[in-house]
């Protein structure tokens, strides 16, 4: 929902303000800052919850403790009840994080359920920075002897600092006195799938019900918004399930549900999304992507995602076009990110060596843990480029725990059983049958972006790779040239995988 910048040590206020200005697109509604002693906090606000009263930095009643946050705390109402409503002065979900830290110190981070990157300070000199366990919301830092700097995006940092930029690790908090401490794992340690060698021909109804209910609850928890919310609908299984659950909630609460789809003329994604929208009765919008609009969006997409990997860029271009259009109508959208990693949706999951259940389980855990390097950053950057927040219900902590506790045998393909069959059957009746059985396509392929971009880059300049960088073809060299112009000074691979090409 926002962009944050923080500094502790020898604070250069003008440097910090310049950093904040570089990420104004993340929060076009308001700008706030606070400077106390050796700490500076800055905030660019995208107003979603408590539009009138939720400005940041948010403070306690004594005005001696402050917090800036990017993200959403979905259980903020429960935290209010637990800590006492009398402590709270706004309806902002971020205020729940503030009081959890005031009451419990760093241990209070365990109360928070949601996606967040935050910085906390008080007049006694305490300072803390933290990032959610999956890294859904981005956070980067630079550690110098005299000062430590934090920001939501790489571009925030001055060119002189860019060679020092690192990704702040998910599930960790940092204080000047205690250093870096893990407070949560992406995949809870207690998740241990109950192995079953004999997988039945039909799914147990109790399992299907559990999967359906946990996903629906995650979607409903992410429908909170004071300014409207929509769904990115690709027409694939995952986003269609999210749209179905959101449509059910919107009907019960009597609120509109816009859905947004993008693709080349006649693309499979546009056609499938139209079928889903008609079935659910949503307020559907289509963005038709042409070679001209793709070529125009390409440099913006590379700059937005701060990456040049071809598969990532191919999905980022339609995502950016989608975000540009949708941001004029809603401030937040739901997406289907994470379902393939939890329910074995990618084709390589069903080839050697992952035909072994233990190997498959290990690979699912690995991909979930590493989502913050690529897909989640693409999802965040393309939406926040236009001041819009993306929410990812499949990556709710309860969904992760349930999905990864299911025996991996249940996720394997076999004759008559395609990938993600468990998920398909859990939502039987919620969607048209042809959508439930639609095969997996990469977003860049289903939307037609792959072919459209192949035409668009033919006349664009490319750049030879620097030392330590491998470029696989001319298209990647073109993407790399755009990236290099925007983020010169960043060392590929320096941000824990953010720039690794795979």
Annotated ligand binding at 93? The verdict is yes
Cα 6 to its chain centre, rounded Å, is 21
- pLDDT higher than 50, residue 498: no
2 in catalytic set: yes
Q: What is the mean pLDDT of residues 396-416?
A: 93
Query: What pLDDT score was predicted for residue 190?
Result: 67
Residue-averaged pLDDT of the chain: 89
- pLDDT higher than 70, residue 196: no
Structure tokens at 348: 């390589």
Q: Indicate the pLDDT class of residue 389, thresholds 50, 70 and 90.
A: very high
Q: Which tens digits make up the pLDDT trace of 416-462? A: 889 999 999 999 999 999 999 887 765 556 677 777 777 777 778 88
Query: What pLDDT score was predicted for residue 198?
Result: 56
Residues 6+ apart with CB under 8 A from 166: 140, 141, 142, 143, 494, 495, 496
| Helices 94-104, 76-83: inter-axial angle, 10-degree rounding | 40
Q: What is the mean pLDDT of residues 375-402?
A: 94
What SS3 state is found at 117? strand
The answer to whether 274 touches 284, Cβ cutoff 8 Å, is yes
Q: Indicate the pLDDT class of residue 500, thresholds 50, 70 and 90.
A: very low
Q: Indicate the pLDDT class of residue 27, thresholds 50, 70 and 90.
A: confident
Cα 109 to its chain centre, rounded Å, is 19
Going by C-alpha positions, the residue among 240, 239, 238, 112 that lies closest to residue 183 is 112
Annotated ligand binding at 262? The verdict is yes
**Which CATH superfamily, name and number, covers 2-182?**
Aminohydrolase, N-terminal nucleophile (Ntn) domain (3.60.20.10)
Q: Indicate the pLDDT class of residue 495, thresholds 50, 70 and 90.
A: very low
Query: What pLDDT score was predicted for residue 201?
Result: 53
Residue ranges per structural domain of the chain: 2-182, 213-486
Q: Report how far residue 245's alpha carbon sits from residue 265's, in angstroms, rounded to the nearest whole number.
A: 28
What SS3 state is found at 75? coil
Q: Report how far residue 256's alpha carbon sits from residue 259's, in angstroms, rounded to the nearest whole number.
A: 10
Query: What pLDDT score was predicted for residue 502?
Result: 29
pTM: predicted TM-score of the whole model, two decimal places: 0.92
What percent of the chain lies above the pLDDT cut of 70?
91
Lowest mean pLDDT among 170-174, 190-194, 197-201, 323-327: 197-201
Lowest mean pLDDT among 329-333, 371-375, 398-402: 371-375
Q: In 46-114, where does DSSP find H-type helix?
A: 76-83, 94-104
- pLDDT higher than 90, residue 290: no
- pLDDT higher than 80, residue 497: no
DSSP per-residue string spanning 429-493: TTB-HHHHTPPP--HHHHTSHHHHHHHHTTTS---PPPTT----SHHHHHHHHHHHHHSTTPPTT
Query: What pLDDT score was predicted for residue 453?
Result: 79
Query: What pLDDT score was predicted for residue 350?
Result: 94
Alpha-carbon torsion angle 55, 61, 64, 68, nearest 10: -30
What percent of the chain lies above the pLDDT cut of 90?
69
The answer to whether 376 touches 134, Cβ cutoff 8 Å, is yes
The answer to whether 434 touches 303, Cβ cutoff 8 Å, is no
Q: What is the mean pLDDT of residues 398-425?
A: 93
Lowest mean pLDDT among 131-145, 168-182, 473-487: 473-487
What SS3 state is found at 5? strand
Query: What pLDDT score was predicted for residue 442?
Result: 57
Query: What pLDDT score was predicted for residue 292?
Result: 86
Count of beta carbons in the 10 Å neighbourhood of residue 386:
19
Q: What is the mean pLDDT of residues 27-34?
A: 90
Which residue in 2, 16, 173, 379 is the catalytic one? 2
Count of beta carbons in the 10 Å neighbourhood of residue 54:
20
Query: What pLDDT score was predicted for residue 152?
Result: 97
Q: Indicate the pLDDT class of residue 467, thresholds 50, 70 and 90.
A: low
Q: What is the mean pLDDT of residues 306-311?
A: 85
Query: What pLDDT score was predicted for residue 494?
Result: 44
Lowest mean pLDDT among 236-250, 433-447, 480-494: 480-494
Long-range CB pairs of 141-147, under 8 A, 24+ apart, other chains included: 141/165, 141/166, 141/168, 141/174, 142/166, 144/9, 146/9, 146/10, 147/7, 147/8, 147/9, 147/10, 147/11, 147/12
DSSP state of 169: P
Domain 213-486 falls in which CATH fold? Answer: Rossmann fold (3.40.50)
Q: Which tens digits make up the pLDDT trace of 45-96? A: 876 655 566 688 999 999 999 999 999 999 999 999 999 999 998 889 999 9
Q: Report how far residue 319's alpha carbon sits from residue 317's, in angstroms, rounded to the nearest whole number.
A: 5
């Amino acid at each position: 929902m926002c962009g944050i910048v923080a500094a502790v040590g020898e604070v250069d206020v003008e440097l910090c303000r310049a950093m904040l200005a570089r990420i104004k697109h993340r929060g076009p509604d308001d700008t706030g800052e606070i400077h106390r002693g050796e700490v500076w906090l800055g905030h660019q606000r995208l107003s979603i919850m408590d539009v009138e009263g939720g400005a940041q930095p948010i403070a306690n009643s004594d005005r001696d403790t402050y917090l800036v946050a990017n993200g959403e705390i979905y259980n903020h109402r429960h935290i209010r009840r637990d800590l006492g409503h009398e402590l709270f002065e706004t309806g902002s979900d971020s205020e729940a994080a503030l009081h959890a830290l005031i009451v419990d110190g760093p241990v209070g981070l365990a109360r928070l359920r949601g996606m967040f990157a935050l910085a906390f300070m008080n007049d006694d000199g305490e300072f803390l920075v933290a990032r959610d366990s999956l890294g859904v919301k981005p956070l980067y830092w630079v550690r110098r002897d005299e000062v430590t700097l934090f920001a939501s995006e790489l571009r925030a940092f001055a060119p002189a600092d860019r060679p020092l930029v690192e990704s702040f690790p998910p599930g960790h908090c940092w204080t000047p006195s205690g250093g870096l401490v893990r407070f949560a794992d992406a995949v809870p340690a207690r998740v241990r799938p109950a192995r079953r060698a004999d997988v039945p021909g039909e799914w147990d109804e109790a399992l299907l019900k559990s999967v359906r209910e946990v996903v629906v609850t995650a979607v409903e928890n992410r429908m909170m918004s004071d300014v409207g919310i929509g769904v990115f609908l690709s027409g694939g299984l995952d986003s269609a399930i999210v749209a179905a659950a959101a449509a059910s909630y919107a009907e019960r609460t009597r609120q509109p549900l816009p859905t947004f789809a993008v693709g080349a003329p006649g693309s499979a994604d546009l056609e499938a999304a139209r079928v889903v929208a008609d079935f659910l009765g949503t307020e559907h919008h289509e963005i038709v992507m042409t070679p001209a609009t793709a070529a125009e969006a390409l440099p913006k997409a590379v700059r937005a995602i701060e990456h040049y990997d071809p598969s990532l860029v191919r999905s980022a271009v339609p995502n950016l076009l989608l975000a540009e259009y949708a941001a004029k109508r809603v401030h937040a959208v739901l997406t289907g990110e994470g379902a393939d990693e939890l329910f074995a949706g990618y084709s390589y999951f069903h080839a050697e060596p992952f035909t072994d259940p233990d190997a498959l389980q290990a690979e699912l855990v690995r991909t979930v843990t590493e989502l913050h390097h690529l897909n989640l950053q693409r999802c965040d950057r393309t939406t926040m480029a236009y001041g819009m927040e993306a929410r990812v219900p499949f990556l709710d902590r309860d969904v992760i725990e349930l999905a990864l506790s299911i025996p991996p045998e249940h996720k394997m393909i076999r004759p008559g059983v395609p990938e993600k069959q468990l998920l398909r059957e859990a939502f039987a009746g919620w969607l048209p049958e042809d959508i439930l059985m639609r095969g997996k396509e990469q977003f860049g392929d289903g939307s037609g972006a792959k072919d459209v971009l192949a035409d668009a880059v033919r006349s664009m300049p490319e750049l030879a790779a620097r030392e330590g960088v491998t470029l696989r073809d001319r298209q990647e060299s073109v993407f790399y040239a755009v990236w290099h112009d925007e983020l010169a000074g960043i060392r590929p691979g320096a941000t824990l995988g953010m720039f690794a090409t795979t």
